[in-house]
Chains A and B, each alone.
Chain A
Amino acid sequence: MSTRLLTKYATPDESGQAILKNAMEKLDLSARAYDRILKVSRTIADLEECENIEAHHVAEAVQYRSLDRSGWAG
């Protein structure tokens, strides 16, 4: 999925945006990680057959980046 398609189809709602922003800042994620989180959220929404990406989709996608958390392994 290209960036253009990503903005078209994988833009989360407001509360989702907030979670994403928070995660980006707290976990210090890269731009690629940002894109990838959006893609995973899109997949999760597809599995639930949701048209839009909601907060809990983003939240689940973010928690799958556990190795990026600086806290892991001290």
Chain B
Amino acid sequence: MLVKTFGAAVTGIDAITITIEVNVTRGIRFFLVGLPDNAVKESQQRIESVFKETGHKWPGKRIVVNMAPADTRKEGSAYDLPIAVGVLAADEQITSSRISDFMMMGELSLDGSIHPIKGALPIALQAKADGFKGFIVPKANAREAAVVKGLNVYGVESFREVVDFLTGRKEIEPVEVDTDAEFLKEQARSEFDFADVKGQDSVKRALEIAAAGGHNVIMIGPPGSGKSMLAKRLPTILPPLTLDEALETTKIHSVAGKLNGHISLLTRRPFRSPHHSVSDVALVGGGSYPQPGEISLAHNGVLFLDELPEFKRSVLEVMRQPLEDRTISISRARFTIDYPASFMMVASMNPCPCGYYNHPEKACVCSPGVVQKYLSRISGPLLDRIDIHIEVVPVPFDKLAAQKPAETSNTVRERVIKARAVQSERFKK
């Protein structure tokens, strides 16, 4: 008998529906066709074991599994679930009229439990666009997928549960996430505030301008002058994410598998601060199956590069093009993937190797040549793309000890929101 089940393949931050056709006829051997990679091919061993555990039988017949469209590469182990269901139904061990109503994805463990998958959100969006009645996902991904309105998302923990659900022996309640409430609840909270930073009014002013216009910033100053502290507080003065922005950023994190089970939607602007030993692939994304890098994870948020001159030169140079284009294209021989990368770059550095060049009190021990050399580690083209350069001077003692309250993030944020409103009004015309 021929049975069709449905899964999805994720390319970039979008998914395409994959039809999994299973045909069980007389004969022997198992065939899996349609450009599967090794992890997909290995599913046979996992499924056989699961069948044994759940009391089903691996059919001793000729099994042909075709994954269509056949020219798209299928990767990863998340096709275990639709293939297993397809084999059972094609062998007529279960009968269900509902199989084609659902999209399902999940990696099977040998004992029949189901492991989380990557990219649940883009797949759920695709399932809704294609008009599926529901989406069966591993429980750990259920809240992430349930953000999509108008789609029933069923979180499952074991293969037995899926079979019982499809054959109608057991009902599962769809997971509900109130997207709007979730969004509002999380947004206001933040443990950081601009008021924590004493003095540094000129730097705060510059950061306010940067936040209002989305400009890139570099801060130069001696150690301990508050550069990192200020940078960490930058997201608190940026305008809150809109729902569309939040969905897009969440999609990227979903594809990268970086969402924890209890988070359904990223509600705050991401703040990524990769260590300076980061490789260029980790920063911009890549690999043979390209994954988003730090710059895409920082989409709609802030990418903070602490100690900029310590980064490898090649790493900094690969960022030049995405800084202009706000998106990164990763090309491989067979395909090209675009990841959005609209981020604000905030960098910090010391003025010289010892850190005290231009310091009001301490003496710098570096020779002039060394200072020049340190600065020249950052290439002209990169510096050209940074709009705002700020010198951060250490705060003198009397200001540190003063109890004068500084402006809070919310006051600054209101001004930023107002300025951004002026800007969007202008572009509407």
Contacts and interface: CB of A to CB of B under 8 A. Distances in A.
Interface of A: 5, 9, 30, 32-33, 36-37, 39-40, 42-44, 46-47, 49, 60, 64-68, 72-74
A1 to B, nearest CB: 8
What is the predominant secondary structure among interface residues of chain A facing chain B? Answer: helix
Given A64-B206, A65-B389, A46 B357 contact: no
A64 B351 contact: no
Nearest to A73: B371
B15 interface: no
A66 B386 CA distance: 11
Contacts of B391: 66
Interface string B386-408: 11111100000000000000000
B372 interface: yes
A32 B390 CA distance: 19
Nearest to A48: B419
A64 B418 contact: no
Interface stretch (B52-60, B63-71, B213-221, B265-273): B213-221
B368 interface: yes
Query: What bracket does the count of chain B residues touching chain A fall in?
Result: 20 to 34
A39 B415 contact: no
Contact of B215 (A9, A39, A66, A67): A39
A51 to B, nearest CB: 9
A36 B389 contact: no
22 contacts: A36-B385, A39-B387, A40-B213, A40-B215, A43-B209, A43-B419, A46-B212, A47-B416, A47-B418, A49-B422, A60-B209, A64-B209, A66-B389, A66-B390, A66-B391, A67-B220, A67-B386, A68-B389, A72-B375, A73-B352, A73-B372, A74-B368
A43 B372 contact: no
B280 interface: no
Contact of B371 (A47, A65, A67, A74): A74
Nearest to B371: A73
B426 A9 contact: yes
Contact of A43 (B213, B352, B386): B213
A64 B387 contact: yes
B388 A64 contact: yes
A-B pairs with lowest CB-CB distance, top 9: A43-B213, A46-B419, A64-B388, A67-B389, A47-B419, A36-B387, A66-B389, A46-B422, A74-B368
Nearest to B324: A32
Given A66-B391, A68-B389, 4 more contacts: A46-B213, A46-B422, A67-B220, A73-B372
